[in-house]
A = this chain, B = another copy of it.
């Protein structure tokens, strides 16, 4: 396509604690960063409520998006230096824009709000790119088809499979940036990966991005880091507890709204959120400042449940938890009944949570090839990494997950005597790092 993209007269840089400098050479990238929609990402944290567990984790999706862009830029630049013919050079701008914008549609406390209101951030990213927005204008100025192309990369339907694969795969710039960045800001040691080596080992090959076999160990290390970050950071039970509070707040507010409750405070566009008919402009007003402000005001709502949940969230008075033994799983219904009889509300006073993840999944021949990491050996054979790596094969089999039961400790304490002994005993194992 005849594109109007121009290079900046002089490269611009952002100082970044993870990548040292983020380099912007193209006018379109610079203009995208300066849009209202992209600046909004500063008001949405990268790790949702994780800052309540790891106080350093206050970084935003803005930082992360710049990082994903930068890694993608470095990968493409490596492809160009190597003059690999399998890389379609004319796709550079499409790929960079998609990398920069891939998280544009995230809402405040993304995972919880999506679950509560059945939204999907990928859809919203596409709607923002294609809608009446500054981002759309900037892209259109370069080429009238650019918004559609970028959106189709985000939704994984772009015709050039290698561009989709570059932006979204088990070893993509998104994952590399978040491992490094989340480790940096939380302060945990697990996220150290040899990104420079991985980038140097990537090769465009037959519509895919593959890894030279000599980079296998760096990839192993990356997968192990990912495994540890999931279990040590992303699935930390304190974080899960705060997400449960969050989802309960959303659920309760929606119930009240639907029941015609007169809110003392109901700021625009919250009603549209409850109705699930947000326009793009309304959606863009949703950020974590607005949500936190609503919660802060709702402490003074008359509904005791909503007020209590909001106060919990603002003061970090989270639910405690116990790990359930497999033997307890079948008792969940019994616990619910016992709670009800004891005067508790099992819809809010208990939550079962079962985080699970496989650090790397192996698929059969017919499966989604986009989710495989392929190694390229000297004879140009491709092999899926777990065929070659003992360590990947070992850990990709692990099915792990603990079941936790969360509950408000003070409420439980007040009725504990009324619970059947064998139920009460479950709560004696409380292990809360409150």
* B227 near A391: Cβ-Cβ < 8 Å: yes
Stretch at the interface among A14-22, A84-92, A153-161, A366-374: A14-22
* Count of interface residues, chain A, beta-carbon cutoff 8 Å: 72
The reply on A69 being an interface residue by CB < 8 A is no
Q: Does A410 contact B (CB under 8 A)?
A: no
Of B220, B232, B395, which one neighbours A217 at CB under 8 angstroms? Answer: B232
Closest to A212 in B: B10
Whether B36 and A55, one on each chain, are in contact in the complex, defined by CB atoms closer than 8 angstroms, is no
Within 8 A of B (CB), among A220-277: 220-221, 224, 227-228, 231-232, 265, 267-268
> What is the 8 Å Cβ interface bit string for chain A, positions 289-305, against chain B (1 contact, 0 not)?
11011001100000000
Query: How far, in Å, is A286 (CB) from chain B's closest CB?
Result: 10
Q: Confirm or deny: A343 has a beta carbon within 8 angstroms of a beta carbon on chain B.
A: no
C-alpha spacing A265/B268, complex, angstroms: 10
Whether the Cβ atoms of A187 and B20 lie closer than 8 Å is yes
CB neighbors of B among A1-52 (8 A): 12-18, 20-21, 34-36, 39-40, 42-43, 51
Q: Complex: how many Å from CA A391 to CA B223?
A: 12
Bound-state CA distance A42–B314 (Å) is 10
Q: Does A409 contact B (CB under 8 A)?
A: no
Chain B residues with CB below 8 A from A17, complex form = 56, 184-187
**Known contacts A36-B314, A217-B232; A59 and B62 CB within 8 A of each other:** no
A186-204 toward B: CB 8 Å interface, digit per residue (1/0)?
Answer: 1111101110110010000
Cross-chain contact of A296 among B193, B289, B390, B397 (Cβ < 8 A): B289
A381 in the interface, Cβ–Cβ < 8 Å?
no
Contact B51 A55 (CB under 8 A): no
Which residue of B has the minimal Cβ distance to A81? B11
- Contact at B290–A296, with CB atoms within 8 Å? yes
**A398 — nearest CB in chain B belongs to which residue?**
B390
**A56-B59, A62-B55, A391-B395 known; A43 vs B292 contact (CB < 8 Å):** yes
Q: How far is the CB of A271 from chain B (nearest CB, A)?
A: 14
Q: Judging by beta carbons under 8 Å apart, are A228 and B232 in contact? A: no
Q: Which residue of B lies closest to A434 (CB)?
A: B34
Contact of A55 among B66, B184, B231, B397 (CB under 8 A): B66
| Cβ contact within 8 Å between B56 and A51 | no
Q: Is A58 part of the binding interface, using a Cβ–Cβ cutoff of 8 Å?
A: yes
Residues of B within 8 A of A227 (CB): 391
Q: Which residue of B lies closest to A187 (CB)?
A: B17
Query: Closest approach, in angstroms, between the C-beta of A400 and any C-beta of chain B?
Result: 5
User: Which residues of chain B are near A148, meaning CB under 8 Å?
Assistant: none
Residue of A13, A35, A58, A288 with most partner-chain B CB within 10 A: A58
Number of copies: 4
| A15 adjacent to B398 (CB under 8 Å) | no
Q: Shortest Cβ distance from A12 into chain B, in angstroms?
A: 8
Docked Cα-Cα span, A400 to B220, in Å, equals: 14
> A137: CB under 8 A from chain B?
no
Alpha-carbon gap, A400 to B393, bound state (A): 13
Query: A195–B322 Cα gap in the complex (Å)?
Result: 28
Partner among B190, B267, B397 whose Cβ is within 8 Å of the Cβ of A293: B267
A285 within 8 A of B: yes
Tell me which residues across on chain B come within 8 A of A394, comparing CB atoms. Answer: 394-395, 397-398
Decide if A316 is an interface residue (CB 8 Å cutoff): yes
Contact B289 A20, beta carbon cutoff 8 Å: no
**Chain B neighbourhood of A16, CB < 8 A:** 55-56, 187
Minimum CB–CB distance from A321 to chain B (whole Å) comes to 14
- Across the interface, A187 reaches (CB within 8 A) one of B15, B193, B228, B296, namely B15
Report B-chain residues with C-beta under 8 Å of the C-beta of A317. 34
Residues on the B chain within 8 Å of A400, using CB: 390
* Known contacts A190-B221, A289-B296, A395-B395, then 19 further A-B pairs from the complex at CB < 8 Å, ordered by chain A residue: A13-B200, A15-B54, A15-B186, A17-B185, A20-B196, A21-B197, A34-B316, A39-B315, A42-B55, A42-B58, A55-B60, A189-B192, A217-B231, A267-B297, A268-B297, A285-B296, A287-B292, A288-B289, A394-B395
